[in-house]
Structures are given as C-alpha cells and as structure tokens.
Amino acid sequence: MNKPELLQMKSKLPEVGTTVFSVMSALAAETGAVNLGQGFPDFNCDPLLIDAVTLAMQEGHNQYPPMAGVPALRSAISTKIQQLYGHLYDADHEITVTAGATQAIMSILLACVHPGDEVIVIEPAYDSYVPAIKLAGGVPVFVSMQLGANGYSIDWDQLAAAISPKTRLLLLNSPHNPTGFVLQESDIAALTRIVQHTQLLIASDEVYEHMVFDGQRHESLARYPELAARSYIISSFGKTYHVTGWKVGFVAAPRALMTEFRKVHQFNVFTVNTPMQLGLARYMAAPQPYLELADFYQKKRDKFRAGLENSRFKLLPTHGTYFQCVDYSAISQKSESEFAQWLTREIGVAAIPVSAFYHQGHESGIVRFCFAKQDATLENALQRLQAI
C-alpha cells in the first residue's frame, strides 16, 4: 500500500516560531532558574474575587452570556472609565468584553485593516502586534523609540513622517511593555497635532493602566475627546487583578467603531465565559484593588531597583508596568538572546531579551525583568544577580 503524500501547507506566518516567552519559561523550568521572564505574577489573586466567581457558578450562571459581555460587567467598566478618565462610554453599544487583550487587538485589526493598509508599530513592540497585522492583510510600518539618558521616548516627528495615504491605524501602548515608558501630556499634544487632520484610527493598548508610578497619572486616550473619537481603548482584567490565566479584557470605542469590532468579535470568539464576567462585575463594586495597584507595584519596583543599585547592571527608568529593563553592557558583550540564556543557565535568573520586541532583532544590550513576583522570589533573584 502506497504511503499518502505529505500535505503541502503554505504558512500565513512563515517567519513566526515559538515565542521567546515560551522558550525562556521552558528554559527556566528546565534549569530551575527564577523566572523573571514571562510577565505574570507568582502570587494569588484576592480570595474575594474567587468567591465572586464561585458564587456566580453556584447560582447557575454557566451558559452563554450575550455576545458583547454581560450587562453588569459592561456597566461596571463604563462607570470606572467615567470616574477615572471623564469619558462616558455607552455600556450597551460602546464596550465589549474580550478573551483577553490579545484577542481584542486581533479583532480590532481584522475589523479595521484591509489588504494593503499600513499600520504604524512603535518598536520595541509586544510580539502579537505584527502577526495580527499580517493576518489582517496589513503592512506594518515601524517607528523606533529613542533611548536616551531619561529612558525610552517616542520621536513624534519620525512617527509623523511614517504616515502615508495608505496608513489606516496606529498601534499605541502606554504604559509600555517592555520599556516602562508612560505617555506624558506633551506626548498627547504631539499625537493630537499629528492625527487631527487625518482619518487615522488608533488602537490604544492600556493593559497596564493602573501601574503608573511616582504620582503620575495614566494618560488614557479616553481622557481626550479628539483622540477618543478615533480610538479603541484596550485593557485587561488579567493584569489588573493578578489573573492572567483567565484571559478576560475589554475594548471601549465610539459606537461606529465598536459596531465593526463586534462584527469580527462574534465570529472570532463570540463571547467570554459567564461566571468570570459576573464575578468581575461584583468585584469591581469596590474600586480599591485597582486604585491601590500602582502603590503595590511601585514598592516591588523600588525593592527590585534597590537590590540592583550597586550591581553591574545599569537600571533604565521604569515609569509604569511591572517590568524593569537593564543595560548589561558592563557585564558582557554577548547578544541579548545569548546573554538571557547565559543568565538563565549560569546565574539562575530568566529574563527576556528586548531585541525580541523588534521585527529585525535590534541589539542594544538590554534585557527585561518582571518584578510582579512575591518578595521572596525577588530576593532570591536579586541574591543571584548581585553575585555577577
């Protein structure tokens, strides 16, 4: 009997392999290293949140919810945004609950981007952005952040020069992963000037919205009517409530934009599991958990930075997120990927090379650590890093 011919599969993402996060986490597990690579907490969420989800299950809320999300959660999201940023989104028509921020970004791009449309990506950039653009038939146009004495910043003149008649959308991320950059009012003013006479849409990835440090405020695009009118605002309950494995987020946008988003959303994932939505809605009745999150993570940032202050690492500014970037050029001339693997195997601490956040592997001698960990975990990692 003849063997069947192997099927020939033409990849839609030929350049994509296993993500660096999976690779480094696997290496950390293999070597017993402290995993400060992948961005997730190693501590539990509030038991009250677990109780709220359990109660929803026990009450029988275990069937499909509405496509856009349960009304109670959409209403809670709308209230929170209005109280924090002064913009009222219609809970019925302008807010959709998503299966995490990654699905939200994919659905936005599929809804907005037509084949040949250009999408501006600010690098370093989260690794899902470019594959999602390509799957939508779009063309990524890259603008690199500048690295100076005060850390990373966006060159708005360079961004303005990247806009062409084919530009459809700008992907913006603040607080920024991996750099810890946070938009300032001057950045908002520059962005507003650039887009005000264009048809450019914005996807504003704000999943770390509640992790802005040193008394600064989060400059959500929802604060600014001219920007909000052309923007999809994306956030994540996983990041805010230490439940990244739940994969629940949301998108807020003007009704016309949300109508197109929901057309894709309903066929992409349709909806998000019911009991977690109801549990989150109940839990959001108390705002303290997200209002106190910046102080919670700032203490961890300060502890981690203090532990490396007298080391051979050069600490870059971290104004937001739960990531700390460091320059290791005083320690090694290895490439970022080689250094991250050496650090994991020989020192016992896993990190992520920042070059992985560039489409062409830009090398700057910087790696990223995640400090969303228990104090004992951070102390263990710091003891190892201080020995270098």
pLDDT, tens digit (0-9, with 9 covering 90-100), for 245-280: 999 999 999 999 999 999 999 999 999 999 999 999
Q: Reply yes or no on whether the pLDDT at 243 is more than 70.
A: yes
pLDDT at position 15 is 86
Taking alpha carbons only, the member of 119, 164, 120, 121 closest to residue 137 is 119
The model's pLDDT over 155-214, given as tens digits with 9 standing for 90+, comes to 999 999 999 999 999 999 999 999 999 999 999 999 999 999 999 999 999 999 999 999
The model's pLDDT over 13-50, given as tens digits with 9 standing for 90+, comes to 988 887 888 889 999 999 999 999 989 999 999 999 99
- This prediction has a pTM of 0.96
CA distance 218 to 347: 36
Q: How far are the Cα atoms of 203, 231, 323 from residue 267, in angstroms, in the given order?
A: 20, 22, 34
CA distance 20 to 134: 19
**Domains of the chain, start order:** 20-39+291-386 (3.90.1150.10), 47-286 (3.40.640.10)
What's the rounded mean pLDDT across residues 100-127?
98
Please list, in sequence order, all residues whose beta carbon lies within 8 angstroms of the beta carbon of residue 370, skipping any fewer than 6 positions away.
36, 37, 38, 39, 40, 322, 323, 324
Q: Is the N-terminal amide bond of 124 cis, ω within 30° of 0?
A: yes
Q: Reply yes or no on whether the pLDDT at 285 is more than 80.
A: yes
pLDDT at position 187 is 98
Q: How many CB atoms lie within 10 A of CB 296?
A: 14
The mean of the pLDDT values for the chain is 96
What's the rounded mean pLDDT across residues 351-373?
95
The model's pLDDT over 54-97, given as tens digits with 9 standing for 90+, comes to 999 999 999 999 999 999 999 999 999 999 999 999 999 999 99
pLDDT at position 154 is 98
Q: Reply yes or no on whether the pLDDT at 296 is more than 70.
A: yes
What's the rounded mean pLDDT across residues 286-301?
98
Task: Identify whether the C-beta of residue 135 lies closer than 8 Å to the C-beta of residue 154.
Answer: no
pLDDT at position 149 is 85
pLDDT at position 1 is 59
The model's pLDDT over 305-360, given as tens digits with 9 standing for 90+, comes to 999 999 999 999 999 999 999 999 999 999 999 999 999 999 999 999 999 999 98
What's the rounded mean pLDDT across residues 114-122?
98
Max CA pair span of the chain: 73
pLDDT at position 17 is 81
pLDDT at position 205 is 98
pLDDT at position 20 is 82
